[in-house]
Structure 1
Amino acid sequence: MVNLEDVKSFVESNRYQTTLLDIKEHLNLDINEGQPSDNLFQYDANKINVANVEIEALERVIDQGKVSLAAFMEAKLSKLKQTAHEQEGNQGEDKIIKVLPFYKNFLIIYLLELYFLEYNPSGLDVYLKGIRIPNSKKYKDQLIAIYTALDN
């Protein structure tokens, strides 16, 4: 089982920080340089435990993935932006009050999704339901389509 301290160590590791910097530059993202709260790290630990994987699996996605994390993130963000009107609870136009930077730990969800797409596609549905993603079947299909387009 992964705990809060394991996630903190992973996010502070050279491997993760290098990947975060690459993603930040590639996608031109604003990253909050402050330390995320322990609640966010615990939330990530819970997602990793629902996925039934260890930190080493996420490291493998960074080091040996067939599809680059940056390419996957770019494609996913683009695709989901196109379908924003279909997201749950979005009946009208959104009113953006303030855009905040991403927390440093935000790559974990992408690493988990890419892990399942590359190493355990049959487990993706169970994972998405386990972390309570609304319309998980549709979301899974979107992830598979994004990944398949990148892997060809």
Structure 2
Amino acid sequence: MEEIDKLIKSTEYQNVILKVSKNKKILDNYYDSLLKIAKRNLEISDVKLEYLEELLKNDEKSLIYSFVKMGLIIDNQEEEFSKGEEPSNDEKMVTINNLGKSITFLIDDLIEYYLLKNSQKELENYLKAIRIPNAKKYAQELKEVYDSIK
């Protein structure tokens, strides 16, 4: 987690956050928990932190991707799971009000961008693994964003 913390506090990351987020509120409440989630997402994606650092420094399209994605409004109502993988009633989706963007949102965007650029087949599996509602639909929307900036 120390490496993720270092990335988040880096000048490059902070500058991109400022550029991409414009009028969106950036939340760093529960910072340690956000770091744990970012670490978990990196592990699930099997994307190395060094790859994200390289994208951040050398791939301007990753920034454009994040900026374009920030404008997306995705209406996900239900989660989709394979037969036998359905969550219990206690684990089903709840509606959460959006109070802003997490300080780690850029890490999530960079993971998605990396998978779109290098392994699109893995994107949907990754989204399902981190429990994104309607992962298949969301993956398709992300592909459309990616295709629009190629």
TM-score range, shorter chain: 0.7 to 0.9
CA–CA separation in structure 2 for the residues paired with 1:110 and 1:139: 13
> For 1:26-65, what per-residue CA distance to the aligned partner results, in whole angstroms no more than 9, with x for missing partners?
xx32224x56421111011000000112111111221232
Tell me the secondary structure at the aligned position of residue 67 of structure 1.
helix
2:86 paired residue number: none
Tell me the secondary structure at the aligned position of residue 149 of structure 1.
helix
Q: Which has the higher helix share?
A: 1
Tell me the secondary structure at the aligned position of residue 47 of structure 2.
coil
Provide the aligned C-alpha RMSD in A: 2.5
1:13 paired residue number: 10
Runs of 4+ aligned structure 1 residues displaced above 4 Å come to none
1:42 paired residue number: 36
2:67 paired residue number: 74
Identity of aligned residues (%): 30
The residue type paired with residue 21 of structure 2 is K
> For 1:66-107, what per-residue CA distance to the aligned partner results, in whole angstroms no more than 9, with x for missing partners?
6242x323332333x2x43x4338xxxx9x6xx634332221
After superposition, residues 132-143 of structure 1 pair within 5 angstroms as 132-143=131-142
Cα distance, 1:140 vs structure 2:
0.8
Structure 2: runs of 5 or more not aligned: 80-94
- Whether 1:29 aligns to 2:28 is no
CA contact (8 A) 2:25 2:100 kept: yes
How many residue pairs get matched?
A: 135
- Whether 1:88 aligns to 2:85 is no
Structure 1: runs of 5 or more not aligned: none
